[in-house]
Amino acid sequence: MSHETYTIEIAGITRELTKMEIKPGVKIAILNILGDTPLVQAAAQALAERLKGTPIEVLVTAEAKAIPLAYALSATMGLPYVVLRKSYKPYMGEALQSETLSITTGAPQTLYLDAKDRQLIKSRRVALVDDVISTGSTLQGMRLIMQKAEAEVVAEVAILTEGDRAQWHNVIALGHLPVWVD
């Protein structure tokens, strides 16, 4: 079975992204960075360059696909990172939470910040990190948790934005993906 693809260049690396229909007549190109070490490292280097001079103390991402990017940025920039989880575990203690709707799953999801990480980000300047920002729902969920945790969001970064480009003028990104509507 052949799939339509969309070619993109990210930080000097070219990838063929499979187009996926997310609802009747609407397709998006899927970027999956899990296991793509060359792309993750190149993207982290390029984003770190763009973040120079931004007073970031902690990187924050949502589980799961953006974790390699947050880790690579953490290693490159010498900063700690926090992962907002999508399921609650007893060890998380008094976790903060917010709800989000992912375009790739199409279902509501809850993000959790565990008690340990809450202390790490309280009164700190944070950068929100994602692989692709499409509807902004995950980003909004992350912002809400940061507000509850008394952290200051000083940057929002992604490898790619998607959809209405004007909507993402404040996001530091390495490229943009269209949405195809039949």
Cβ atoms within 10 A of the Cβ of 173, count? 22
Higher-confidence position of 106 and 40: 40
Mean pLDDT across the stretch 76-85? Answer: 96
Domains and CATH numbers, the chain: 31-175 (3.40.50.2020)
Q: Dig out the tokens for 59 from the structure.
A: 């990187």
pLDDT category, 67, cuts 50, 70, 90?
very high
CB 162 within 8 A of CB 133: yes
Average pLDDT over residues 150-175: 93
**If you search the block for the tokens 């991402």, which residue do you land on?**
61
Residue 173's DSSP bridge partners are: 158
Residue located via tokens 């375009």: 103
- For the segment 24-39, what is each residue's pLDDT rounded down to a tens digit? 999 999 999 999 999 9
Exposure string (b/e) for 15-24, b if CB count within 10 Å is 16 or more?
Answer: bebeeeebee
Task: Give the residue-averaged pLDDT of 117-143.
Answer: 92
Closest CA to 141 of 165, 112, 121: 112
- Compute the distance between CA of residue 92 and CA of residue 79 in angstroms, rounded to an integer: 22
Where residue 103 falls among pLDDT bands split at 50, 70, 90?
low
- Angle made by CA atoms 107, 110, 116, in degrees to the nearest 5: 155
Q: In this predicted structure, what is the pLDDT of residue 136?
A: 85
Q: To the nearest 10°, report the CA torsion of 63, 65, 67, 73.
A: -140
Beta pairing, strands 58-62 & 125-133: parallel
- Eight-class DSSP state of 63: T
